[in-house]
């Protein structure tokens, strides 16, 4: 959630930033509802005080006048408390739907306004006609999309043999890399509750994208960012305990896998996928430094795998709902002849911390909201596509990089 004090103190500037992020969101309505809500709360509180005053007065003797006043105030209070509850619900619904404010250096606009800030390596060249990863893995009997569809439906994958070994080798390689950069490994449940998804920013706006288990009121996690963001919900750190850096490997589940079209077939966009995540909680003054660490940690993986990639600073409207600033790391996929995102690294400032009351106590003894940051490090299916298509050989085999063979699984 955004800071309401900022909206109250600088309404036009704050509403402008909201509009920069999401032109469809009615920032003026949020501002007006906040004014009305505060005004109505004051009126309700005044009536309660008045009623309490009559109760004290009645101790000296109940008169007809006191009875009548008490009756009138009680009726007014009941009506206004009903109005207050309805207004609180209306405000809270809109407040939870308000996106995080973009930081000043985030460009305006949508996807077409993203800025490429870095490019590493060059696109690989081949002396033979290259194949799409689907054709390669099916010929090698690595992945069976047809059986996966029989088991679960379209946009799922069933890994076999060396594909399973490659996936596990990649995951272990990434976890070891992240641990070496100072991140503590965490293995959370893949099921989360509604409050966890609200704190992370997935609910209520993106509720339809998440798989639900209605009987238990639980959900399959769309990303372990949700799990890690809630580990310290309602918690106050001592300043010396910060920063907290975590990395986790989980399966992730998303409904919005897209259509099984010619450009996104195979592993490009699927409903269930493995992902290694980075997550940090820190003091606000250190979030830029921690953001750089997340990006550098992720880059190291791609550099060790000798994959060509680029980094883009996302424009405001292309960022995630909870992000104040996002860099996408996109790897080159030769079989697709284009770049695809394998990591999205975001500084969420105090947006999630405000939802989850994640704070720390300063040296002065004041409780202050933390900043939260996250990054995919990395999404495994697209990384596997990059490896399979980049390291394919003329005979259809795949040459696995030495750093992965050292994991002892291949």
pLDDT in tens, 302-339: 999 999 999 999 999 999 999 999 999 999 999 999 99
Residue 244 above 90 pLDDT? yes
Residue 237 above 60 pLDDT? yes
The answer to which of 90-94, 191-195, 265-269, 321-325 has the lowest mean pLDDT is: 265-269
Q: What is the mean pLDDT of residues 265-281?
A: 96
Q: What is the mean pLDDT of residues 231-253?
A: 97
pLDDT tens across 183-217, in order?
999 999 999 999 999 999 999 999 999 999 999 99
Structure confidence at residue 261 (pLDDT): 46
259 pLDDT tier (thresholds 50, 70, 90):
very low
Percent of the chain with pLDDT over 90: 91
Q: What is the mean pLDDT of the chain?
A: 95
Give me the residues paired with residue 347 across strands: 325, 373
Q: What's domain 111-405's superfamily in CATH?
A: Bira Bifunctional Protein; Domain 2 (3.30.930.10)
260 pLDDT tier (thresholds 50, 70, 90):
very low
The count of other CB atoms within 10 Å of the CB of residue 68 is 10
Structure confidence at residue 68 (pLDDT): 85
| Residue pointed to by tokens 């990089």 | 401
Q: What is the mean pLDDT of residues 274-302?
A: 98
Q: Which of 247, 278, 286 is nearest to 370 (CA)?
A: 286
pLDDT tens across 355-406, in order?
999 999 999 999 999 999 999 999 999 999 999 999 999 999 999 999 999 8
Structure confidence at residue 258 (pLDDT): 53
Radius of gyration over every alpha carbon of the chain, rounded to an integer in angstroms: 26
Structure confidence at residue 263 (pLDDT): 56
Considering the segment(s) 4-96 as one domain, its CATH architecture is Orthogonal Bundle (1.10)
Distance set, CA 334 to CA 89, 156, 329, 337, 378 (Å): 50, 22, 16, 5, 19
Write down the domain spans for the chain. 4-96, 111-405
Structure confidence at residue 53 (pLDDT): 86
User: What whole-number distance in Å separates Cα of residue 349 and Cα of residue 365?
Assistant: 21
pLDDT tens across 3-23, in order?
999 999 999 999 999 999 999
pLDDT tens across 54-74, in order?
877 777 777 778 788 888 999
Structure confidence at residue 257 (pLDDT): 56
């Amino acid at each position: 959630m955004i800071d309401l004090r900022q909206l109250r103190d600088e309404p036009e500037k704050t509403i402008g930033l909201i509009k920069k992020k999401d032109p469809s969101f009615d920032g003026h309505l949020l501002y007006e509802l906040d004014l009305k809500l505060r005004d109505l709360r004051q009126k309700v509180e005044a009536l309660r005080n008045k009623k309490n005053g009559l109760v004290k007065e009645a101790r000296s003797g109940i008169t007809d006048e006191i009875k009548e006043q008490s009756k009138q105030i009680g009726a007014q209070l009941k009506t206004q408390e009903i109005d207050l509850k309805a207004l609180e619900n209306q405000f809270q619904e809109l407040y939870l739907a308000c996106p995080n404010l973009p930081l000043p250096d985030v460009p305006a606009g949508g996807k077409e306004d993203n800025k490429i800030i870095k490019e590493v390596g060059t696109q690989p060249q081949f002396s033979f006609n290259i194949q799409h990863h689907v054709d390669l893995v099916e010929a090698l009997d690595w992945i069976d999309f047809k059986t996966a569809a029989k088991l679960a439906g379209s946009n799922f994958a069933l890994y076999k043999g060396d594909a399973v070994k490659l996936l596990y080798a990649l995951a272990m390689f990434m976890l070891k890399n992240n641990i070496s950069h100072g991140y503590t490994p965490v293995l959370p449940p893949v099921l989360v509750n509604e409050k966890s998804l609200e704190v992370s920013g997935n609910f209520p706006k993106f509720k339809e994208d998440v798989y639900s288990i209605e009987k238990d009121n639980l959900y399959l996690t769309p990303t372990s960012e949700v799990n890690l963001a809630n580990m310290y919900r309602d918690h106050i750190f001592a300043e010396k305990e910060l920063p907290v850096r975590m990395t986790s490997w989980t399966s992730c589940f998303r409904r919005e896998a897209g259509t099984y079209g010619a450009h996104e077939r195979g592993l490009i966009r699927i409903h269930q996928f493995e992902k290694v995540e980075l997550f940090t909680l820190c003091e606000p003054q250190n979030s830029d430094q921690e953001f750089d660490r997340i990006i550098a940690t992720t880059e190291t993986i791609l550099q060790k795998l000798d994959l060509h990639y680029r980094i883009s600073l996302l424009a405001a409207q292309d960022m995630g709902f909870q992000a104040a600033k996002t860099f996408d790391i996109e790897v080159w996929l030769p079989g697709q002849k284009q770049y695809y995102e394998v990591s999205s690294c975001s500084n969420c400032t105090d947006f999630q911390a405000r939802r989850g009351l994640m704070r720390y106590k300063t040296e002065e003894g004041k409780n202050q909201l933390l900043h939260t940051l996250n990054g995919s490090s990395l999404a495994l299916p697209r990384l596997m596509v990059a490896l399979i298509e980049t390291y394919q050989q003329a005979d259809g085999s795949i040459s696995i990089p030495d750093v992965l063979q050292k994991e002892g699984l291949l």
